Amino acid sequence: MNLNQNSRIIIVDDIADNLLLLQLVLEAEGYRIELAMSGSAALSSICASPPDLVLLDVMMSGMNGFEVTQQLRQSKHFSMLPIVLITADREIDLDRALAAGANDVICKPVDLDELLVRVSAWCH
């Protein structure tokens, strides 16, 4: 039995190829994956059925990752929900992400080994 099979992760990105890559890698490790292509879709999904972890792209059209994080943190129901921001912007550092309410940051292009280590740390 894979220990990851009970961990549910929502991946949020407005680029389908990014979603597919992360989905394939994480499903191969036994995680249950849900996808959202916008911040508003992610919020609806998270409110309906909270995941164990949110992998959230920062730069999206409409509501960006910082805005989604801040909205989630405004609710007492999601104050402890692990949120990992994913960004191609090397200027976004951990301090800025933590100030927004995120728990961690992963830079694009995503190193898949690093992704698995970080996800495993948050999904225990």
Q: Give the chain's residues under pLDDT 50.
A: 1
Q: What is the pLDDT of residues 42-77, one digit of tens each?
A: 999 999 999 999 999 999 999 999 999 999 999 999
Which percentage of the chain shows pLDDT scores above 90?
Answer: 81
The three-class DSSP label of residue 57 is: strand
Structural domain that includes position 94 = 3-122
33 sits in which H/E element = strand 32-36
Give me the sheet containing 53-57, strands edge to edge: 32-36, 8-12, 53-57, 83-87, 104-107
What is the pLDDT, as a whole number, of residue 121?
A: 94
| CATH number, position 97 | 3.40.50.2300
Amino acid at 17: D
Whether residue 123 contacts residue 103, with contact meaning beta carbons closer than 8 Å, is answered with: no
What is the count of structural domains for the chain? 1
